[in-house]
Chains A and B, each alone.
Chain A
Amino acid sequence: MTAPARTGADAPPAPDDVLLRAEGLAVHFPQRGGPPVRAVDGVDLEVRRGETLGLVGESGCGKSTLGLALLRLVEPTAGRIELDGTDVTALGRRELRGLRRRVAMVFQDPYASLDPRQTIGRIVAEPLEVHGLAPGRAARRARVDELLAMVGLDPSFRDRRPHELSGGQRQRVGVARALAGEPELIVCDEPISSLDVSIQAQVLNLLVRLQRELGLTYLFVAHDLAAVQHVSDRVAVMYLGRIVEVGDTARVTGDPAHPYTRALLSAVPVPDPPAERVRRRIVLSGDVPSPAAPPSGCRFRTRCPDAFEPCPHVDPALADLGGGHRAACHLHGVVGTPVDEAGAALLDDPA
């Protein structure tokens, strides 16, 4: 299989060519004897065809859950997901199979994401079997070899089992499996965090090369900001189930508009000792609040160094800051949903 040659492969993905759109997406997990855990709590997201959208946040922010919801591996509680115009949230069981061909996933743990009892060949061939691709033993075998070669593995790996492979090699198998269905969008859920440093670079390079050659679209979910900004065209920052900032990588990492993004960036260690010594870190106070009980108004206000009057009273909405850069923070103007009368008053009279 060769992907149709991408014309203008170097051109940035067009803002109006949206492959996947999520609106008001929410995933709540019921909790026994307590309020539900609001892992994803009202997310609007757009992934443009051909781009890599990075999704960063720390543990508990809901980014992994969001990725899983896009494949309906967890069921959304509310909201809508559209893939190229098709409403994914309404799909029945049979049609889901079709969805799972168009959207694939690469998982975080290379040790756990491969069935220990299957050979590599079977693992990579499974999507072909499920979707009836490359029918016939010979065709299937050839396709498996092709996929393995695409990810830089020798075809002889076909008969090996996962425990014989290194972490990096297993992760390549995961990528090959994701590619088998010829997907349009691949959700990469922390694809390199379990790998050794020198292997991370190999896998990152692989993902970039495949995108270039096959015209793939990626949603790259990770907590490692350095890796995310390296591969992403645009970056979205998540906190406690919401997207707090989104925009071009250069803008978001170079000129962050949200205090959380700023804190996150300041906390990322950089391998440059003199720079590290003079660095002023924005240290956030306290712990992340429980996703079952997010603070009223702006959820970040309990740790935000810049919290001020409107923050407890108005739940900020993503506001446009120009050039596709959006942030949900009252520092750029009080915009959002009031939670009480004081909030409503603030919105009426933004003076």
Chain B
Amino acid sequence: MTALDRAPDGPAEAGQVAAPDEAAGPTGLLRALVRNRLAAAALVVLAAFVVVALVGDRVAPYGPNEVSSADKLRAPSLEHPFGTDQLGRDVLSRVLIGAEPSLRVGLVAVGIALVAGVVLGLVAGYYRGLVDDVVMRCMDVLFAFPAILLAIAVMAIRGRGATNAMIAIGVVYTPIFARVTRASVLTVREQVFVRAARSIGAGDLRIMTRHVLPNVAAPIIVQTSISLAFAILAEAALSFIGLGTQPPEPSWGRMLADGRGFIQDAWWMAVFPGLAIFAVVLSFNVTGDALRDALDPRQRSAIESAAGRG
């Protein structure tokens, strides 16, 4: 018998964590995002737009509907850095003030789609069978419509305006959230830890909310940022065709619509709101990509795994 027999479990095994993780949690996520310089820049841009949306009406040099017949169709200048439109309104002010409705519609619409889609996808993916078939066929039907047509159809039923635009866009994007959620749920529900939760007596609701949902969050978050980009574009499109934000409230889409007729003579009327849309959409896309990479921490490269466990 050597001294090795009768050794207890040992304080070392009991006390030391094998691989402490400083990169966990939301702070770790932020740190990872910031490390990616492109994503950091995108986040700054987004933050700037959010600020503008919140305080735009206060920092704008002019009112959104301050007409001035003397200053019609002026090119960008010191008094009007973005120029003026056909009614003499300051384009810069309208772009700043128009940020709020453009972003708001996008955010709320995605919020609707997120909640509705995730719930549907979660239930369909978890229960499978008849529930799954019914829900997903409905989603397929919605999916089959071109997005704009679907939005127009909804608005034809409900009427015009920003609120109805939110609902319409929300409906249009629900299926993608449902699909993304369901796909992840299908994988997660087969995992052993779900079976383990069942083995200790957890019910379906607890399993769905405590175990499945948090583990499908990553693709949903990524999808959210991508959909935000599209929702902004959708709002712009709807306003462009006159269905979304109604005049005189400025929105970037509306401004694009108005500026279309003046492209030759007053390009600034369409270009600046267009650039704003472009900047926000691009930033959302870049952030979405960066989020996807950052949220995949368990995808260490095979080599790193071999280094730790070879």
Interface residues of A (CB under 8 A from B): 68, 71, 73, 96-98, 100-101, 104-105, 107-109, 112-118, 126-127, 130-131, 152-154, 156-157, 160-161, 163-166, 168-169, 174, 177-178, 180-181, 202, 205-206
Contacts and interface: CB of A to CB of B under 8 A. Distances in A.
A164 B13 contact: no
Nearest to A94: B203
Nearest to B215: A117
Interface residues of B, number: 30
B145 interface: no
Contact of B13 (A96, A107, A202): A202
A156 B215 CA distance: 24
B74 to A, nearest CB: 56
Contacts of B198: 73, 100
Nearest to A206: B9
B9 A205 contact: yes
A165 B17 contact: yes
Most buried by B among A101, A114, A118: A118
A107 B196 contact: yes
Contact of A112 (B15, B17, B19, B192): B192
B298 A164 contact: no
13 contacts: A97-B201, A100-B200, A100-B201, A112-B192, A113-B195, A115-B211, A116-B298, A117-B211, A153-B14, A154-B14, A163-B19, A165-B18, A169-B18
A130 B202 contact: yes
B192 A113 contact: yes
A178 to B, nearest CB: 8
Nearest to B212: A115
Contact of B200 (A104, A154, A206): A104
A107 B17 contact: no
A108 B193 CA distance: 11
A174 B196 CA distance: 9
B184 to A, nearest CB: 13
Contacts of A154: 14-15
Contacts of B24: 161, 164
B200 A115 contact: no
B178 to A, nearest CB: 22
Contacts of B15: 154, 156
Contacts of B203: 97, 130
B195 to A, nearest CB: 6
Given A152-B14, A164-B21, A112 B200 contact: no
Contacts of B199: 71, 73, 100, 104-105
Nearest to A154: B15
B13 A152 contact: yes
B20 interface: yes
Contacts of B13: 152, 166, 168-169, 202
B197 interface: yes
B246 interface: no
A107 B18 contact: no
Nearest to B18: A166
B68 interface: no
B201 A115 contact: no
A193 to B, nearest CB: 14
A164 B19 CA distance: 4
B214 interface: yes
A164 B17 contact: yes
Contacts of A168: 13
Nearest to A120: B17
Contacts of A115: 193, 197, 210-211, 214-215
Contact of B214 (A105, A117, A206): A117
Q: Would you list the 9 A-B pairs with minimal beta carbon distance, nearest first?
A: A166-B18, A100-B201, A112-B192, A117-B214, A97-B201, A152-B9, A127-B200, A115-B193, A113-B192
B35 interface: no
B254 to A, nearest CB: 43
B36 interface: no
Given A115-B215, A177-B200, 19 more contacts: A68-B195, A73-B198, A96-B201, A100-B198, A108-B192, A113-B192, A113-B195, A113-B196, A116-B193, A130-B202, A152-B14, A156-B15, A160-B17, A165-B17, A169-B13, A177-B196, A178-B200, A180-B200, A205-B9
Contacts of B17: 157, 160, 164-165, 169
A163 B9 contact: no
A117 B214 CA distance: 7
A90 B84 CA distance: 78
B206 interface: yes
A203 B69 CA distance: 85
Contacts of B193: 112-116
Contacts of B187: none
A107 B9 contact: no
B206 A130 contact: yes
A180 B211 CA distance: 18
B23 to A, nearest CB: 10
Interface string B172-216: 000000000000000000011101111111110010001100110
A127 B201 contact: yes
B10 to A, nearest CB: 8
Interface in B1-53: 9-10, 13-15, 17-21, 24
A72 B112 CA distance: 38
Contacts of A152: 9, 13-14
B187 to A, nearest CB: 12
